[in-house]
Structure 1
Amino acid sequence: MIMSKLSMLKRLFLAVVFAFPIGAYSQSSDTNQSNAHFLPSSKPDRIILNLSENPLEAVGVNWRTDTSQHTSKLEFAIATAGPEYREYTQLLQAKTEMLVSQQDDEPTIHANYHQVKLSGLKPGGQYVYRVGEGENWSEWFQFAIPEDDKEVNFLYFGDAQNEVVAMFSRVFREAIINLPKMDFTVYAGDLINHESADFEWGGWFDAGQWIHATIPSMMTPGNHEFSKNPPTLTPHWNAQFNLPTNGPSGLEETTYEVNYPELKIISLDGEQIDESPIYRKAQRDWLRDILTTNPRKWTVVTFHYPVYATAPDRYHDKMIDYIRPILQEFKVDLAIQGHDHAYARGRGFEENGQMDYEKGTVYVVSIAGPKMYDVKPDKWMDRKAYGTQTYQWIKVKENVLSFKTYTALGELYDSFEIHKDSKGENKLINQIPNTPERLQDK
């Protein structure tokens, strides 16, 4: 009888172990149970492609497993019209690091993050890959490298931040459904609300699902990716993303540049510009240096805190004082920003204490999630919107940069082109739809 009870207890223990792997998390509650699908397992999840410094030659790949998967691999091949690519695959060992995270009422979560830089790619090539180890593999994903024809198409999203899987997902997915295939996506910070809330990060990955694994992305951090006193970037950032490290020391994967044949796109760490005199100077010096020797026709910069906000009382003085002069000096074409939860687009060039709203860098602020701020008319704005979730399609080809803003319904809300002449001078052509602006009731 005693042996029978011991046997029953042993079976019960094994059942619990297999149902809840040791080390995945350390506490439980009703909230945690409802988010159990965000916990790591032996099967890879949170698979994402990130842009490399040279996106026609390489791409970064990241994914997550539980800690039972001490190692993981990436298998890839040149894509074929049928399944024969499986006969010609290459296997790469991933670099693995453990992340232990806990925030607020979430459990302590132990996970392994794996990354590979996939290099030796060719312009115009199509590739397939999967990630995993042993019996635990993802599905095969397919992605393409743009043709080296000097045309680039990409999406830009403002803050997702709140209720990401519930409310941002439709915006992201509608953009993918409604537009031509994009070469990459840009996120202007505040991807989530609480910097180390693993379930929130799970929601962000869930909103994009397979799209993250097939269209490369780049992101710049917002203030909600930092803890305070002192401002510290969440450990999730470097663990789960595989972004360029070609910026200033100490700002790896937050301040960096990506170079296409005719387009340079730059990420600046807005929170460190705001909070750290040392990193502010480092970014200004670095930005000036890479723009001084910039041979590319088009330059786009993304950062979280906007130079001009969607209300005059929300301007960001440090971005105006320290970053705007460099954008003006080097004739940066476009600045895509977040933080101010509304939509606005326009120009504002300061010279000798006077403002000119008909020249200079085009500044855009947008919001992709459901949290909204009020909008107040301002001289710099050509188009504005309140309470409107948007996505933006940017196309660069030869001497024209085309910019189109769509609402979550897929309706064109704003549009303009920048035409660059042989001397590098820009002419902005507004193509604003003949529809009323969406503004709050007075």
Structure 2
Amino acid sequence: MDKVFEKKYARVPIIVPIALFAVAAVAIASLGLSGIKTTTTSTGIEDHLTASDTAELSDGRLEFLKPKQVHLSWSTNDVYHTMTVVWWSQFPLGNKVVYDTVSHDRSWEYAHVAEGNSYQIKPSVDRHGNPITTQFDGWYHEVELTGLEPGTTYHFRVGGLGVYSQEWSFKTIGLDEKVDFVMGGDSRRPWGGGYEIKVSPTAISNWPWARDWVTTEVAAEDPDFIVFIGDMVNEGRNQEHWNNWFDSFQERLVTENGRMIPIVAIIGNHEMGAYPDEESTYEWFKGVFANPGNELWYSLDFPNLHLTALSTTGQCIGTWWSGAQIEAPQQDEWLREDLTGSDAEWKIVAFHVPYYSGYVTGTGYASEIYLKHWAPIIENSAYGVDIVATGHVHDYMRSYPIKTTEIEEVETDNPYSDYTGYLAHYELKGDSEEGVTYIVQGAWGAPTDPYVKGGDCDIRDFMASAAARPSYTLAEITDGGMHIETKDIAGPTLDEFTLPYTIDNFPVPEYEYVI
């Protein structure tokens, strides 16, 4: 079945709804536009645009009709020949992307056009089968561009019926390109009307400015793409939260020369609905992003790099043990097959909720379900995983190479896990090729989780580096290695290393970055 029919909840009818069309027609008529074509053929730009389809609404008179929240991703595992564009608009007036290898001033001047689908986000039931009453306003649009040339820059606009966005560009990945990319997550606003800050009074919390500063600094790095490891927003069912996030990223996740940076989006628990388990469904996340496969666990192949994304939500914002018990085993066999099917030199597995972090295992938290199911797979040397990248905890952490030796079932005082937990036993390896390096990077602007000596979030003996401040992690494939650097938004490098490496001892970080 075509992905669009699986994913969407209300497709655009062939004829635009009369009421909406009337509004659009009156508005467009005020600009003197007429004779706009609505054909769905895609043999050439002339089949979609006429000379009267040329007022780009730059004067702002119909600004409310213009496409917003434009972002890029890959909805199929082909980063060389495809790019997917998603955006939002108030009315379903057009599902077109016009694009070319040269820049143009007007929409009809582009050499190519692609047409996709419009849909509304209106999931009917939550994960328990209960009816959902929340519905998102407006229309989302998804268009996949195919047949692109590798390593090529394209200029594009989105829209239709004379209402087009500004121009941006994107670049496909070159066949032999040594990619560089940024990893990070957790940009959500504080929750609880300030309660979250009262719990951690030493946390950095200047949302949304910290989020926006991180995004601006990331764009200045000019990466080929970003891997966003969940918790973009505080409530996945809250459209205003999504509007704020996408508006910010449309503005800031763009390089100095106008290149929009693709987002590899990984679901977090806060994308699931409202706290702790209200209107919980994956459909909020799947509606606003376009990923391969089922859009929750998938993989992408780059030159010498295989990137695997997994889903770790506990099936609700509360990240519940019972939800993780359902979610984790669904992905076990797929994960084995995915890793077996790649012979890439470098492999990264990314998911939101970490099992190695500043918090200990053996407490009955849902992360221990993922530890039990996935650590034996991920750390199997036959699969060759180098890095696990996670978020959820709002700080930065890098482990020494870890080999989990035992996962012990223990009793806990946690009723939500039926008083059961899983305690990790591990060895630290002096050779990075004999263990897996675990990274937590959850500091894209959410209130930080400071490392407190003797506290719940503390420096652990497996940590090579730790920092609790807004930051991002830049990775670059090099000749024979992968260079990884974590930077503070103020400029300093917090951590830097290159895989592969060997080490003779395992000193733990100081508390110098506690805020």
| TM-score interval, normalised by the smaller of the two chains | 0.7 to 0.9
Query: In structure 1, what is the Cα distance between the partners aligned to 2:182 and 2:498?
Result: 16
Verify the 8 A CA contact 2:233 2:241 in the aligned structure 1: yes
Mark the CA change 1:352 to 1:418 in structure 2 (over 3 Å): closer, same or farther. same
Matched, 1:418 2:499: yes
SS in 1 for 2:100: strand
Indicate yes or no: 2:481 matched with 1:400. Answer: yes
| Structure 1: distance between partners of 2:444 and 2:376 | 28
Determine whether 1:136 maps to 2:163: yes
Relative to structure 1, is the Cα distance of residues 333 and 146 closer, same or farther in structure 2, using a 3 angstrom cutoff? same
Shift of 1:71: 3.5
Counterpart of 1:176 in structure 2 is: 219
Give the Cα separation in 2 of the matches to 1:123 and 1:133.
Answer: 27
Query: Aligned partners of 2:303 and 2:467: how far apart in 1?
Result: 34
- Per the alignment, residue 355 of structure 1 pairs with 426
Q: In structure 2, what is the Cα distance between the partners aligned to 1:183 and 1:345?
A: 23
Alignment of 1:89-238 (within 5 A): 89-100=111-122, 109-162=136-189, 165-177=208-220, 179=221, 181-210=222-251, 211=253, 214-227=260-273, 229=277, 232-238=280-286
Paired with 2:388 and 2:147, the residues of 1 have a C-alpha distance of 31
Which letter does structure 2 place at the counterpart of 1:356? E
Query: What's the offset of the Cα at 1:59?
Result: 1.2
CA drift of 1:428 comes to 4.7
CA contact 2:225–2:264 (8 Å) conserved in 1:
yes
Show the 5 A alignment for 1:211-360.
211=253, 214-227=260-273, 229=277, 232-245=280-293, 252-272=294-314, 275-312=323-360, 316-329=367-380, 330-347=383-400, 348-351=402-405, 355-358=426-429, 359-360=434-435
Q: SS of the residue aligned with 1:331? A: coil
TM-score (norm 2): 0.68
Equivalences for 1:59-98 in 2 at 5 Å? Answer: 59-67=83-91, 69-79=92-102, 87-98=109-120
Residue identity matched to 2:233: I
Deviation at residue 57 of structure 1 after TM alignment: 1.3
Tell whether the 8 Å contact from 1:113 to 1:240 is kept in structure 2 after alignment: yes
Offset at residue 150 of structure 1 (A)? 4.1
Return closer, same or farther for 1:53/1:107 CA change in 2, 3 Å cut-off.
Answer: closer
Contact 1:357 1:379 in 2 (8 A): no
How many residues are matched? 381
Q: CA deviation at 1:320?
A: 1.5
Instruction: Find the aligned partners of 1:410 and 1:403 in 2 and give their Cα distance.
Output: 16
Q: What residue in structure 2 maps to residue 372 of structure 1?
A: 448
Larger relative helix fraction? 1
The 8 Å contact of residues 155 and 182 in structure 1, kept in 2 or not, is answered as: yes
What per-residue deviation string (whole Å, max 9, x for no partner) do you get for residues 6-61 of structure 1? xxxxxxxx9xx98xxxxxxxxxxxxxxxxxxxxx9321001000034111111111
- Contact 2:312/2:327 (8 A) holds in 1: no
**Cα contact 2:181–2:225 (8 A) shared by 1:** yes
**Residues 232 and 413 of structure 1: CA distance in aligned 2, closer, same or farther (over 3 Å):** same
- Alignment CA distance shift 1:166-1:131 (3 Å): same
Contact 2:82 2:145 in 1 (8 A): yes
Gaps of 5+ in 1: 1-13, 19-39, 246-251, 420-426
What's the C-alpha RMSD, in Å, of the aligned pairs?
A: 3.0
Contact preservation (8 Å) 1:257, 1:266: yes
Report SS of the residue matched to 1:413: strand
Cα displacement (A) at 1:352: 5.6
CA contact 1:50–1:60 (8 Å) conserved in 2: yes
Deviation digits for residues 54-83 of structure 1 (CA, Å, limit 9, x no counterpart): 11111111011113x343211111235x76
In structure 2, runs of 5+ residues without a counterpart are 1-22, 28-62, 125-132, 191-206, 316-320, 408-424, 452-457
- Counterpart amino acid of 1:346? S
Q: Secondary structure at the match of 2:439?
A: strand
Corresponding letter in the other structure for 2:385: V
The percent identity for this pair of structures is 23
Distance 1:293 1:370, change over 3 A: closer
Instruction: Tell me if the contact between 1:101 and 1:110 (Cα under 8 Å) persists in the aligned partners.
Output: no
**TM-score (normalised: structure 1):** 0.78
Q: What per-residue deviation string (whole Å, max 9, x for no partner) do you get for residues 213-272 of structure 1?
A: 711111111110113558833533222211111xxxxxx111110011311101100115
